[in-house]
């Protein structure tokens, strides 16, 4: 008799049980959280946009040093004359995981155009783990890390943070939080910065 009562209760509450199980999975699994956020980004819920008025109202970008995979230190000051897309990310960050496919698609569309520079600045303490994350997901975006302090106008510690600097060295977009970057509209906005 008791088993039949339990069965009826489960049958009556199956939707609630499934929703609670899904919510619990999201709480304990960064991968599940990243997957859900990625789906929200892919349907266009979080769009990136460069507004024309932003170009006139933003300060000149302050430069910072970054290191490539080979250990060579470079400066963003050397990139004047190019449109620079900078993304600060970490492999353990679900919103970073969510926007990474759209950034990869944008990078693939523009990687051969030398008027654009993509700086994917990793913030993981364990750089090998971060590189393994990129390899596991077959991302081809170049791996960089910062060398020293990054000015707060560029990065204040929130992950993910994306910054676009126009060819005159002005910040035209600073987006803290996830967004989708592979839309035709955003690609056109980047090209208009040339």
> Is the confidence at residue 20, as pLDDT, over 80?
no
The pLDDT tens digits of the residues spanning 100-126 come to 999 999 999 999 999 999 999 999 999
85, 132, 133: which is closest to 111 by C-alpha? Answer: 85
pLDDT band at 48 (very low <50, low <70, confident <90, very high): confident
Q: Which CATH architecture has domain 52-191?
A: 3-Layer(aba) Sandwich (3.40)
> Is the confidence at residue 190, as pLDDT, over 60?
yes
Domain boundaries, the chain: 52-191
């Amino acid at each position: 008799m008791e088993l039949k009562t339990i069965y009826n209760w489960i049958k009556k509450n199956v939707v609630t049980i499934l929703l609670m199980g899904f919510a619990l999975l999201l709480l304990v699994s960064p991968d599940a959280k990243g997957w859900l956020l990625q789906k929200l980004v892919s349907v266009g819920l979080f769009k990136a946009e460069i507004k024309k008025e932003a170009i006139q109202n933003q300060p000149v970008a302050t430069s910072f040093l970054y290191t490539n995979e080979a250990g060579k230190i470079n400066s963003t000051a050397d990139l004047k004359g190019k449109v620079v897309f900078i993304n600060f990310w970490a492999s353990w960050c679900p919103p970073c995981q969510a926007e990474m496919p759209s950034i990869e698609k944008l990078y693939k569309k523009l990687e051969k155009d030398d008027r654009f520079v993509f700086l994917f600045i990793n913030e993981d303490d364990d750089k090998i783990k971060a590189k393994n994350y990129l390899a596991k997901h077959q991302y081809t975006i170049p791996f960089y890390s910062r060398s020293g302090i990054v000015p707060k106008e560029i990065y204040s510690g929130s992950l993910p943070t994306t910054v676009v600097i126009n060819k005159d060295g002005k910040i035209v977009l600073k987006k803290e939080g996830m967004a989708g970057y592979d839309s035709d509209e955003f690609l056109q906005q980047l090209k208009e910065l040339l």
